Amino acid sequence: MVVGERKYRDIIVDVFSHLLEKRIVFVTGEITNKTSAVVVAELLHLELQNPKEPIYMIINSPGGVVTAGLAIYDMMQMISCPIQTIYLGEACSMASLLLATGSPGYRFCSTNAKVMIHQPSGAAVGQATDIAIHTVEILKIRDKLNSIYQKHTGRAIEEIEQCMERDFFMDAEQAKKFGIIDSVIDCHQA
């Protein structure tokens, strides 16, 4: 809890609400529909407050539901606020996509952080026709994710496809070289 000062009295505010007032948004833990709804609402709220002031998105997530992550991505692309992405710990799967899609020049990570990209996974049960429908859909999602990574990293689509074939781990310097981030924050000199 954080004590906030108001005109006539002090109020107690949880730390995440206090940081949101400072335009800091957190994507932590698994990315679910609930997580996505909160982050999308926070981004929209900050856009309505001041569309020119930057938003700082702190990421530490193993990834999660692709469609939930794409909802956050879509809102990041729709709003006009510059978004600085900063990751600590891990940015895997959908979280690495959010990291890569921050504003160019403002995508950061700590020296000890790790990134992992891979193709989407899923399961289908039911009749053969239903399984075929789901197979086509997940392949479309894979192509969409590959295109998003290609757009934001500048890598050739063939290289993205090859790297996404299996879990592809990168340390901070490798993520910078790959184009997922722009700078590594040296935690020992911060």
Query: In the chain, what are the domain boundaries?
Result: 2-118+167-185
Distance CA 51, CA 89 (A): 29
- Residue 85 identity (one-letter amino acid): T
pLDDT of residue 11: 74
pLDDT of residue 2: 41
Digitized pLDDT (tens) for each residue of the chain, 190 residues in all: 344 556 666 777 789 998 999 999 999 999 999 999 999 999 999 999 999 999 999 999 999 999 999 999 999 999 999 999 999 999 999 999 999 999 999 999 999 999 999 999 988 889 999 999 999 999 999 999 999 999 999 999 999 999 999 999 999 999 999 999 999 998 766 5
- Is 93 annotated as catalytic? yes
DSSP 8-state assignment for residue 1: -
Residue 7's Cβ-count burial label (10 Å; 0-12, 13-18, 19+) is exposed
Q: What pTM was computed for the model?
A: 0.91
CATH for 2-118+167-185 (3.90.226.10, 3.40.50.300, 3.30.56.10, 3.40.50.1100):
3.90.226.10
pLDDT of residue 186: 83
Distance CA 146, CA 66 (A): 13
Quickly list H helices, 22-171. 33-49, 66-78, 94-100, 128-153, 157-164
Distance CA 91, CA 51 (A): 26
Which is catalytic among the residues 93, 96, 110, 183?
93
Integer angstrom CA distances of residue 180 from 67, 99, 148, 165, 174 = 20, 7, 11, 17, 9
